[in-house]
Every structure is written in structure tokens, then in C-alpha cells.
């Protein structure tokens, strides 16, 4: 294994300096073994206050917000510097997040680092000012220009499941837009963020205070960031419950809030699809990274006449996926991130049994250390059941029968969430009908992949507000200024 960051090399980044945490250190745990990996700097309220002050000063008192070309150069510089640390970052991500090694070549690491280049290009090519032409409101002839400007100081609060992807999905567009950032990463994955901060401080020309990273096991620091009047925007990814608290906390200062929240996405299989192939695909996908993805499809909606065949195919696929060491190249389903998260998943399995569901596959813990749960298939429950309505965040799939395309649309929409989804079939008109009917932010058709730096991601209903990535995600970090000059 490559050298991991240690207590001495995982400080906070505040005002361009690498500093220890005011509250000392806290432990970061390897979820595959349950053992302590080491220590991370533990920021306190004074550290967060200093980070916000640094970000405010960097925005107000430097040229960062106005020099588009410089920002683009710094983002490419960061991308290239991170690539120089790719193996160290890979080992940290596997050890700390429990991410399967195979995913670090894509969305867990290398993909998000590469995406920084997209936002660098966007900073250079974006039309920052538009001529709206002349008009004469109230008889006063005026030339109008529309200008887009950075929103200011961004407080970014991120979760542990895809730490690099989510951190860079906020840092990339916010920095490209000209904003400054205070990042509060999840306490489960502090090293992933701390190493990025070290690279920023030591190997890039990003000015002091433009990026500040405060790791801490104190969730109150997130609330401090949300309520501080010096912060212009909060960009939060996490649970819907916490998202509500973020929105309420930000209301006092009327700051902009971007929320990417939970999901309970439906995988809709039409009766003209290859039922076995679709069910197997759904079963496999829900096991990736132990089901710890908000956009994973965790409800499998299949034609009632093919229900037994779909269950058999999904069960066969799940039995072939054993939870394992995320270091191994072939591992798909690693550990849950913490003992707390495993307890949460197991509580939902108990609820499924209590409500009359059948555990067809899995439902237990594999032998050995670590926070593992077996891939689990549940049948015999309606779409209104607890495990079909609430986000579990584990390798758990619920199979539900539908009675035709319109009924499948109804079931898919019978949810507080609307983040993602999938449709499998062969008739283009029927697929289009279902795609048009399902109220969700992203949909994959017959295995189509929607994730990309240039593609906006986000949800309907209680899955969030706004979009991340793409031009739409970039514009979340911009304000609009209209300038009218009398002619």
C-alpha cells in the first residue's frame, strides 16, 4: 500500500496555510476492518470562523473573482497536481471510504479529478457578458448589458460516500465561477479532503483563502457555516432530513441554498424487455459500493406476470456478489462506511421482516471484521412499505410488481423523492411514454449512463433544489447583474 497521510500531513487549510485543528485530532476508521487508520485535524468554531473570514477576504480583496484566465490555469494546475498524487489518493479513498478499487478508476477518484478540466475550459469559454440591445422604457433610451458574476463565498458541506466526486463537483464549478470556498467534509472521510488541501497549498497558485478546508467530527461546524452572514451560498449534499435543517438555518440570512439530497429511485422494466437481463442489471447496480449512492435504483418495478422470473434472476445475480475487501480488484460490494451505518441498514431489514416481507437473498452479516452487510433482496411488500419508501443506503433491493406502463409510472412517482431512475424495454414509443411520465432528475434507458462533467445532475421533489455539474451546475454559483446606460 502507498503511504497514507498521517496526523502530521493532514492539517486544516485556512487562509492558504496548513494548520492544526483547534480541537486537536479525531480518529478516522477503516470500514473494511473496523480499525483506526490514524488521526485527522479536528477543527473547532474558531477554525471555522477563520476559514470564513479568509474566504471573505479572498473574494472581496483580490482579483480572483474577475480573472477568468487565471482561474482556469489554477484549476488545470490542481488537476495535474492531483494526478501526480493519484496512487496516494487511491489508497486513501479505498482505506477511508471503503470504496472498491475498481471504482477509483472512475467516479470515486480519477473521473472527478479529470472533470476539473471541464470547468477550467468553461471559465474561459463562458459568455460572461451579453448585449441585450437598446430599449426605451418610460421613454428613456437605454443600452442594456447582462453580466454574470460569482456569487461570493460558498460553504460546501459534503458526505462520505463519494468524497472526491462530490467535493470536486462543488469546488470545480465554484472556483471556475470566481467564488471562494469553505469546505466542510464528512467526518468519516477527512483524509480524502485533507490531502487535496495539502496539494492546493503546496503545489498550486490558488491564492490564500480561495479554498479553505475544515475537517472536524463536530457537526455544529456545518451549522455555523450555514448561518454565518459572511457566507453567500450553501452547497450541500446529504440526507433529505439534514437538507431541511440546512435550508431552515440559511433562511435567517436569505442566502442561496443548493441541495442534492436523497433518493428512492425506481428501475422500471417493461413487459417487452429481457426480464432476466434487466433484473440482473438492477441487482448488480444496487450492490456497487455497498449500495451507498443516492442515485442508485433501489426499487425494481417488474410486470406482474414476470414477477417470479425477475426475482429469480435478481436473486441469482445477488448470490454471485460477495461482500469483500475493497482493496481487491474484483470487489464490487465493499463495506458500509461505519458501524452506525450498518446498524441503520440492519434496522431497515428488521422493519421489512416485521411488515411481512421476505428476505430472498442476504439479510445478514458476513463473517469477519468490518462493517459489511450481505446484498439483500426483498419481496412481498407493497410500494407503500417502509423499505420501498425510505432511503436505506445499503445493498438492498425491493422488487414490486406493476400492472402495465401507466401503473409503473404511478408507482415510480409514488415517492417523496425524484432523483434518478431507469427504464428497460424495446418499444421506443413506450419507453418515451414512461420517460415522460416519471418525475425524476435523471433517467438511464437500457443501461445508458447519465453521469458526466457536462451533464447536470439533481432531482425533483425532496431529492433537492438546483443542479450540479454541466453549465447548469456552474451557473448555480453565479449572480445576474443588469447594467443599463442611458444613450
What are the pLDDT digits (tens) for 59-83?
999 999 999 999 999 999 999 999 9
Question: Percent of the chain at pLDDT above 90?
Answer: 98
Query: Is there a single domain that holds both residue 176 and residue 284?
Result: no
User: Mean pLDDT, the chain, as a whole number?
Assistant: 97
- Report the pLDDT averaged over residues 276-300: 98
Q: Note whether residue 458 is domain-resident.
A: no
pLDDT band for position 9 (cuts 50, 70, 90): low
- Report the pLDDT averaged over residues 250-267: 98
Q: Note whether residue 451 is domain-resident.
A: no
Query: Is there a single domain that holds both residue 113 and residue 254?
Result: yes
Question: Percent of the chain at pLDDT above 70?
Answer: 98
Catalytic residue among 91, 260, 391, 468: 260
Q: Note whether residue 3 is domain-resident.
A: no
- Report the pLDDT averaged over residues 320-349: 97
Q: Note whether residue 439 is domain-resident.
A: yes
pLDDT band for position 4 (cuts 50, 70, 90): very low
* Kind and range of the H or E run holding 393: none
Q: Note whether residue 4 is domain-resident.
A: no
**13 and 211 Cβ atoms separated by less than 8 Å:** yes
**Predicted local confidence at residue 316, as pLDDT:** 98
**Predicted local confidence at residue 10, as pLDDT:** 86
Query: Is there a single domain that holds both residue 108 and residue 92?
Result: yes
**Predicted local confidence at residue 223, as pLDDT:** 98
- Report the pLDDT averaged over residues 286-313: 98
- Rounded CA separation 455/416 (Å): 24
Query: Is there a single domain that holds both residue 21 and residue 126?
Result: yes
- Report the pLDDT averaged over residues 293-313: 98
Q: Note whether residue 239 is domain-resident.
A: yes
- Rounded CA separation 127/149 (Å): 11
Q: Which domain holds residue 135?
A: 9-261+463-486
Query: Is there a single domain that holds both residue 240 and residue 198?
Result: yes
Question: Has residue 7 got a pLDDT over 70?
Answer: no
Beta-carbon contacts of 331 under 8 Å, excluding residues fewer than 6 positions away, are 100, 101, 102, 324, 325
Q: Note whether residue 91 is domain-resident.
A: yes
**339 and 369 Cβ atoms separated by less than 8 Å:** no
Distances (CA, A) of 85 to 18, 135, 200, 222: 18, 54, 12, 28
Q: Catalytic: 355?
A: no
Query: Is there a single domain that holds both residue 276 and residue 236?
Result: no
Query: Is there a single domain that holds both residue 227 and residue 286?
Result: no
Query: Is there a single domain that holds both residue 211 and residue 273?
Result: no
Q: What is the DSSP code string of 235-272?
A: EEES-HHHHHHHHHHHHTTT-EEEEE----EEEEE-TT
Tens of pLDDT, residue by residue over 24-51, are 999 999 999 999 999 999 999 999 999 9
Candidates 2, 18, 64; CA nearest to 196 is 18
Query: Is there a single domain that holds both residue 274 and residue 327?
Result: yes
Main-chain dihedrals φ then ψ at residue 379, nearest 5 degrees: -130, 175
CATH number at residue 67: 3.40.605.10
Query: Is there a single domain that holds both residue 429 and residue 469?
Result: no
Beta-carbon contacts of 307 under 8 Å, excluding residues fewer than 6 positions away, are 399, 401
CATH number at residue 313: 3.40.309.10
Q: Note whether residue 457 is domain-resident.
A: no
Tens of pLDDT, residue by residue over 394-404, are 999 999 999 99
**271 and 305 Cβ atoms separated by less than 8 Å:** yes
**Predicted local confidence at residue 6, as pLDDT:** 46
Query: Is there a single domain that holds both residue 369 and residue 229?
Result: no
Domain count, the chain: 2
Residue with cell 423499505: 387
Query: Is there a single domain that holds both residue 175 and residue 32?
Result: yes
Tens of pLDDT, residue by residue over 143-199, are 999 999 999 999 999 999 999 999 999 999 999 999 999 999 999 999 999 999 999
Tens of pLDDT, residue by residue over 224-235, are 999 999 999 999
Amino acid at each position: 500500500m502507498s503511504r497514507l497521510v498521517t496526523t502530521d500531513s493532514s492539517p486544516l487549510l485556512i487562509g492558504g496555510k496548513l494548520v492544526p485543528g483547534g480541537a486537536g485530532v479525531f480518529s478516522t476508521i477503516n470500514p473494511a476492518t473496523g480499525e483506526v487508520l490514524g488521526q485527522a485535524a479536528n477543527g473547532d468554531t474558531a477554525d471555522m470562523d477563520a476559514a470564513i473570514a479568509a474566504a471573505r477576504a479572498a473574494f472581496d480583496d483580490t482579483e480572483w473573482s474577475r480573472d477568468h484566465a487565471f482561474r482556469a490555469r489554477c484549476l488545470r494546475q490542481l488537476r495535474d497536481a492531483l494526478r501526480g498524487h493519484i496512487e496516494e489518493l487511491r489508497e486513501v479513498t479505498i482505506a477511508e471510504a471503503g470504496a472498491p478499487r475498481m471504482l477509483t478508476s472512475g467516479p470515486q477518484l480519477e473521473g472527478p479529478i479529470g472533470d476539473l478540466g471541464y470547468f477550467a475550459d468553461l471559465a474561459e469559454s463562458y459568455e460572461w457578458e451579453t448585449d441585450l440591445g437598446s430599449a426605451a422604457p418610460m421613454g428613456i433610451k437605454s443600452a442594456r448589458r447582462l453580466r454574470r458574476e460569482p456569487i461570493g463565498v460558498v460553504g460546501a458541506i459534503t458526505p462520505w460516500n463519494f468524497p472526491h466526486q462530490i467535493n470536486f463537483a462543488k469546488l470545480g464549478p465554484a472556483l471556475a465561477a470566481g467564488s471562494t470556498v469553505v469546505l466542510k467534509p464528512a467526518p468519516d472521510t477527512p483524509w480524502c479532503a485533507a490531502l487535496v488541501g495539502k496539494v492546493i497549498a503546496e503545489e498550486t497558485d490558488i491564492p490564500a483563502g480561495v479554498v479553505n478546508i475544515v475537517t472536524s467530527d463536530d457537526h455544529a461546524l456545518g451549522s455555523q457555516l450555514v448561518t454565518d452572514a459572511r457566507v453567500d451560498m450553501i452547497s450541500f449534499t446529504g440526507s433529505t432530513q439534514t437538507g431541511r435543517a440546512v435550508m431552515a438555518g440559511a433562511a435567517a440570512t436569505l442566502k442561496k441554498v443548493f441541495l442534492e439530497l436523497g433518493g428512492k429511485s425506481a428501475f422500471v422494466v417493461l413487459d417487452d424487455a429481457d426480464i432476466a437481463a434487466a433484473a440482473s442489471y438492477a441487482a448488480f447496480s444496487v450492490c456497487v459500493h455497498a449500495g451507498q449512492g443516492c442515485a442508485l435504483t433501489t426499487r425494481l418495478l417488474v410486470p406482474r406476470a414476470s414477477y417470479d422470473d425477475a426475482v429469480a434472476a435478481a436473486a441469482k445475480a445477488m448470490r454471485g456478489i460477495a461482500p469483500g475487501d475493497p482493496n481487491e480488484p474484483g470487489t464490487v460490494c465493499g463495506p458500509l462506511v461505519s458501524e452506525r451505518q450498518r446498524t441503520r441498514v440492519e434496522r431497515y431489514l428488521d422493519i421489512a421482516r416485521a411488515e411481512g416481507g421476505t428476505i430472498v437473498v442476504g439479510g445478514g452479516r458476513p463473517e469477519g471484521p468490518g462493517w459489511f452487510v450481505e446484498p439483500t433482496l426483498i419481496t412481498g411488500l407493497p410500494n407503500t412499505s417502509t423499505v420501498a419508501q425510505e432511503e436505506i443506503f445499503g445493498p438492498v433491493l425491493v422488487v414490486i410488481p406493476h400492472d402495465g406502463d401507466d401503473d409503473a409510472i404511478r408507482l415510480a412517482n409514488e415517492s417523496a423523492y425524484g432523483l434518478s431512475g431507469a427504464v428497460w424495454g424495446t418499444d421506443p414509443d413506450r419507453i418515451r411514454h414512461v420517460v415522460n411520465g416519471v418525475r425524476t432528475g435523471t433517467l438511464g434507458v437500457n443501461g445508458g449512463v447519465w453521469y458526466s462533467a457536462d451533464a447536470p445532475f439533481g432531482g425533483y421533489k425532496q431529492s433537492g433544489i438546483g443542479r450540479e455539474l454541466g453549465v447548469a451546475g456552474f451557473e448555480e454559483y453565479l449572480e445576474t447583474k443588469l447594467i443599463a446606460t442611458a444613450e
